[in-house]
Amino acid sequence: MNFDKTFQDMFNAMFEVLKGDTPQIKDQLKYIIKSNKKKIERITKKLLIGKINLEEYEGLLRRNMKKIEDQLSTLDLMKDKSIQNAINAGIDVLMKAIKII
């Protein structure tokens, strides 16, 4: 068994899985930013025209950023799933190399 080749094949399989999931993560991030842009823009305009004071603005901004943080946690789940899929791909390559599957 050529371990160098097997480990290179494992790396390639794992890399392909992670590379393939990157667009989904990027799209989710774009969606999160886009869906929150108007809210942040609206409260910022209120501050700039004097409808709310700085303290109110900071409170509203913190609440909106907390929502974004919560939404970003979905990216962690997507990333964790991608990592697990990559690990599984690596295991499959190794198992095939030693003829277990």
Whether 63 is in a domain gets the answer: yes
What's the Rg (C-alpha) of the chain?
22
Residue 59's domain spans which residues? 3-95
Give the burial string for 51-73 (b: 16+ CB within 10 Å, else e).
Answer: ebeeeebeebeeeeeeeeeebee
Whether 101 is in a domain gets the answer: no
The answer to whether residues 68 and 36 touch, using CB atoms and an 8 Å cutoff, is: yes
pLDDT value of position 59: 93
pLDDT digits (tens, 9 = 90+) for 11-60: 888 888 878 777 877 888 788 888 888 888 899 899 999 999 999 999 99
- What's the pTM value of the predicted model, to 2 decimals? 0.63
Whether 65 is in a domain gets the answer: yes
Whether 10 is in a domain gets the answer: yes
Domain count, the chain: 1
